[in-house]
Amino acid sequence: MPYRKTPLVNNYFYHLLNRGVGKKPIFKTNNDYQRVLEIINFYRFPKPPLRFSYFLLLSSKDKQIFLEKIKQQKPLVEIISFCLMPNHVHLLLKQVSDKGISLFMSNWQNSYARYFNIKYKQKGYLFESTFKAIIIEKDDLLWHISRYIHLNPSSSSLVSINNLKNYLWSSFPEYLGKIEPFFTKTDLILSHFRGRKDYREFVFNQAAYQKKLQKIKSLIIE
């Protein structure tokens, strides 16, 4: 395994990126995006006593009981913002438990890769071997990284800026109050602004200058 230059330390924030091997798609349908969100929610806690694929076989009532039980544990990470793109994933998160990021990334990526390979009758690795991680050592950079992550679908021309609020595979709709947060902790970022509208303007006002944001130039890890 390649040596990681950036240490992964408890109570620090990180911008993480991983992509498909050879920049190939890792999501092909809406069901794939929904599946990975459910897997991420499942594995953000210490590894449950059963695989996610077995969890899916439980009744609705038993699923709810199981989720409530694992959510009583201290999480591995807290997820602040995220964006799923056709061939890569962005995460802004805080490590909460020892080796939390490494365990979290390994567990959800392995689970999703099994699902993807079975569904599409593929073999081999789905993700690049080592995810990229940049530590965020200044609090005020959190807002800018969150903005960068949320603008990704627009700056990549996947959707227009006017439709960004409807892109369901990022936490941006949660920040705008359009949907309830699934696992994202939005309070930290939103507490810096006067309200959701203020945050929306903060994001949109820089849409045309995404690649020119000097404050996060060294943190854009693509």
Residue 7 is assigned to a structural domain of this protein: no
Residue 2 is assigned to a structural domain of this protein: no
- Cα 138–Cα 79–Cα 154 angle in degrees, nearest 5: 85
pLDDT band at 49 (very low <50, low <70, confident <90, very high): confident
Cα separation, 13 vs 206, whole angstroms = 23
pTM: 0.90
Residue 3 is assigned to a structural domain of this protein: no
Residue 8 is assigned to a structural domain of this protein: no
Can you give the length of the chain in residues? 222
How confident is the model at residue 215, as a pLDDT?
46
**Residue partners of 9: CB distance under 8 A and separation at least 6:** 95, 135
Q: What is the mean pLDDT of residues 74-100?
A: 97
Q: What is the mean pLDDT of residues 187-205?
A: 94
Our measurement of the distance from residue 64's CA atom to the centroid of its chain's CA atoms, rounded to an integer in Å, reads 23
Structural domain span for residue 115: 13-219
Please count the CA atoms within 13 angstroms of the CA of 152 that sit on its side-chain side. Answer: 26
Q: What is the mean pLDDT of residues 167-192?
A: 96
Tell me which residue has tokens 């077995």.
Answer: 54
Specify burial of residue 76 (Cβ count, 10 A radius: 0-12, 13-18, 19+). buried
Number of domains in the chain: 1
**Helix or strand or coil: residue 149?**
helix
DSSP 127: B
The pLDDT > 90 percentage for the chain reads 75
Residue 5 is assigned to a structural domain of this protein: no
CA distances for 176 relative to 40, 170, 171, 182, angstroms: 21, 11, 9, 14
How confident is the model at residue 138, as a pLDDT?
86
pLDDT band at 48 (very low <50, low <70, confident <90, very high): confident
Higher pLDDT, 212 or 23: 23
How confident is the model at residue 4, as a pLDDT?
61
How confident is the model at residue 148, as a pLDDT?
92
Residue 159 is assigned to a structural domain of this protein: yes
Maximum CA extent, the chain = 50
How confident is the model at residue 169, as a pLDDT?
98
| Cβ pair 26, 127 in contact under 8 A | yes
Residue 45 is assigned to a structural domain of this protein: yes
Q: What is the mean pLDDT of residues 32-60?
A: 93
Comparing 6-20, 40-54, 105-119, 206-220, the range with the smallest average pLDDT is: 206-220
How confident is the model at residue 220, as a pLDDT?
52
Residue 1 is assigned to a structural domain of this protein: no
* Separation of first and last alpha carbons in the chain: 20
- Where residue 133 sits, what CATH number does that domain have? 3.30.70.1290
Mean pLDDT of the chain: 90
